[in-house]
Amino acid sequence: MIEELTTEAEWQTFLQGSGDTLSLLFKHSTQCPVSAEAFEEYKQFANENNSYRYGFVKVIESRPVSNKIAEDLDTVHKSPQVFVLKNKSVRWTESHWNIKKQTIAEHVENER
Q: CA angle, 98 as apex, 106 and 66 as ends, to 5°?
A: 100
Domain that holds residue 78: 2-111
CATH of the domain at 15: 3.40.30.10
pLDDT in tens, the chain (112 residues): 999 999 999 999 999 999 989 999 999 999 999 999 999 999 999 999 999 999 999 999 999 999 999 999 999 989 999 999 999 999 999 999 999 999 999 999 988 7
**Residue from 5, 40, 7, 8 nearest 25 by CA:** 5
pTM here is: 0.95
